[in-house]
Amino acid sequence: MWVSADRERCISGGRCMAATSEVFDQDEDGIVVVLTSNPAPEQEDRVRKAAYLCPSRAIRIGDGPAGG
């Protein structure tokens, strides 16, 4: 799976980081930072949850290697 985040859309809801701090972090302005665009298989469920919960739908996911 690949994951990316739209930093313009991020409103610092923090749900992504709460779902998995292995894949998502926040910079000092509270805006999302994606730590890896190809998360390990065991992270996939949590990444899906992060995308689902994101208050501003800033997280995008897809199958295959990094894209989008």
Partner 1 sequence: MNAPPTTANEELFAYPQDRACPWQPSPGYQDLGRRGPLHRVRLWDGRTIWMVTGHTQARRLLADPRMSADRSRDDFPAVLPRLDAPIFKPIAIIGFDPPVHDVHRRLLAPDFSLKHVRAVRPQVEELARRLAADMLRAGPPVDLVQAYALPIPSMVISELLGVPYEDHEFFEAKTVGLLQAKSAEDAERAGRELWDYLDGLITRKEREPGGSGVLSRLAGQVTEDGDLTREDLLRIALALLIGGHDTTSQMIALGVVTLLEHPDQLAALRADPGALPAAIDELLRLVSITDVSGVRVATEDIEIDGEVIRAGEGVLVSSSMTNRDPAVFPRPYEFDVHRTVGDNAASGRQHLTFGFGIHQCLGQNLARMELEVAFSVLFEEIPGLRLGTPLEALPTRSGGTMQGVHTLPVEW
Q: Which residues bind partner 1 (CB under 8 A)?
A: 9, 11-15, 18, 30, 52-57
CB of 24 to partner 1, least distance (A): 14
Nearer CB in complex with partner 1: 38/55: 55
Nearer CB in complex with partner 1: 13/34: 13
The answer to whether the beta carbons of residues 32 and 56 sit under 8 Å apart is no
CB of 44 to partner 1, least distance (A): 18
